[in-house]
């Protein structure tokens, strides 16, 4: 009779050890590099710690209270939401339209479609800081091309970046310009993956004109893509920073102050680590909520299971 050699460890333990050896290092690195700092930030947000200080005091929720009651704090939160409220819908609608246009063009001329695609994608590929300089020149109140053109057609120019009422909208417009290309590429991929047969079935069923086609096939089939684009755009607009830092520095008079810029200012200019941590936590909660929304909605609704 053949004898089966008993392993030194029971099979289950052996497997568990193997698994641990495989996932262990990555998990450890993640713990050290992401989880621990996150917890530290969370802890700091309840203190009045300043960089370089030897001691700190526990001050409970005071940092949060300040953020949501202090005028500058409230401004930053409001501005961020306002910015996102413009960028998310505008960028999504615009990029969907552009994607459908390019997709349409691609069906009769590939080269033409590629040129469109590349030019819309350019802002994504270029460094935003460099692009911001270009925008600064374009939007200059007296020398900028935008106002010169507006003057020529008889509409008075604006002080795009220094008017308190206008500055945030201007930044949002730049934000839309910046995200449309990326979203368009995502939508294009989504459009390309819609089975041709569905359009044909719709055509036979009588949904053959643009509007019916869109509502019967295109829009529902883009569900997963749309959700993904929305989450990506929202995350990107919540953490708007480069344009603010290079074009307005949060000004004039905090009119374009946003969460991440405030975090940077408080943390790295005023060294108020505790307060900056609180801002970070609020930002984190926004993004986390979005991710949860994606998970919950995505699994239920858009994959049609």
CA 41 – CA 28 distance, rounded (Å): 19
Q: Which stretch binds another protein (CB under 8 A): 1-9, 164-172, 190-198, 227-235?
A: 190-198
Residue spans of alpha helices (H) in 45-109: 62-69, 71-108
221 is a contact residue toward another protein (CB under 8 A): yes
Binding flag, residue 195, another protein (CB under 8 A): yes
Are the CB atoms for 257 and 172 separated by under 8 Å? no
Buried b (16+ CB within 10 A) or exposed e, 4-16: eeeeeeeeeeeee
**Can residue 212 be called a binding residue for another protein (CB under 8 A)?**
yes
| Residue with Cβ nearer another protein (137 or 192) | 192
Contact between residue 228 and residue 234 where contact means Cβ atoms under 8 Å apart? no
Q: Which is nearer to another protein, 78 or 215 (CB)?
A: 215
Look at the block and give the residue holding tokens 């970070």.
280
Q: Is the CB of 70 or the CB of 205 nearer to another protein?
A: 205
- Kindly tell me which residue out of 19, 70, 200, 299 binds another protein, with binding defined by CB under 8 A: 200
Buried b (16+ CB within 10 A) or exposed e, 279-291: bbbbbeebeeebe
In the shown chain, the binding pattern of residues 12 to 51 toward another protein, with x for contact by CB under 8 A and - for none, equals ----------------------------------------
Q: Give the nearer residue to another protein in terms of CB position, either 70 or 208.
A: 208
C-alpha to C-alpha distance for 21 and 25, rounded to whole angstroms: 7
- Nearest by Cα to 141 from 170, 176, 168: 170
Size of the site for another protein (CB under 8 A): 21
- 10 Å CB burial of residue 266 (0-12, 13-18, 19+) is buried
Cis bond before residue 252 (omega within 30° of 0): yes
The residue within the footprint of another protein, chosen from 207, 245, 287, 290 (CB under 8 A), is 207
Q: Which region among 25-33, 117-125, 192-200, 235-243 touches another protein (by CB under 8 A)?
A: 192-200
- By beta-carbon proximity to another protein, the closer residue of 25 and 206 is 206
Contact residue for another protein among 63, 80, 216, 225 (CB under 8 A): 216
Token code pair at residue 57: 């005091």
Task: Determine the interface stretch with another protein among 59-67, 129-137, 175-183, 195-203 (rule: CB under 8 A).
Answer: 195-203
Q: Which residues bind another protein (CB under 8 A)?
A: 195, 197-198, 200-208, 211-212, 216-217, 220-221, 223, 304-305
């Amino acid at each position: 009779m053949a004898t089966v050699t008993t392993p030194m460890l029971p099979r289950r333990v052996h497997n568990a050890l193997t698994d641990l050896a495989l996932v262990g290092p990555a998990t450890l690195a993640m713990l050290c590099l992401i989880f621990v700092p996150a917890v530290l930030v969370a802890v700091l947000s309840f203190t009045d710690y300043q960089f370089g200080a030897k001691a700190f005091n526990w001050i409970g929720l005071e940092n949060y209270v300040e953020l949501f009651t202090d005028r500058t704090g409230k401004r930053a939160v409001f501005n961020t939401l306002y910015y996102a409220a413009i960028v998310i819908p505008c960028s999504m609608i615009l990029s969907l339209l552009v994607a459908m246009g390019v997709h349409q063009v691609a069906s009769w001329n590939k080269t033409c479609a590629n040129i469109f695609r590349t030019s819309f994608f350019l802002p994504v590929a270029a460094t935003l800081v460099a692009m911001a300089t270009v925008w600064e020149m374009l939007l200059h109140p007296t020398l900028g091309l935008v106002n010169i053109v507006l003057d020529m057609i008889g509409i008075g120019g604006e002080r795009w970046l220094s008017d308190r009422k206008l500055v945030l909208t201007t930044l949002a417009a730049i934000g839309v310009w910046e995200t449309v290309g990326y979203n368009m590429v995502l939508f294009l991929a989504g459009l390309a993956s819609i089975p041709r047969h569905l359009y044909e079935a719709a055509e036979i069923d009588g949904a053959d004109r643009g509007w019916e086609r869109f509502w019967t096939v295109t829009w529902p089939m883009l569900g997963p893509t749309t959700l993904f684009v929305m989450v990506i755009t929202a995350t990107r607009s919540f953490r708007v920073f480069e344009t603010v830092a290079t074009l307005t520095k949060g000004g004039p008079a905090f009119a374009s102050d946003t969460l991440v810029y405030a975090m940077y200012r408080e943390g790295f200019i005023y060294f108020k680590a505790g307060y900056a941590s609180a801002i970070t936590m609020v930002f984190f909660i926004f993004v986390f909520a979005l991710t949860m929304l994606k998970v919950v909605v995505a699994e239920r609704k858009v994959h049609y299971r």
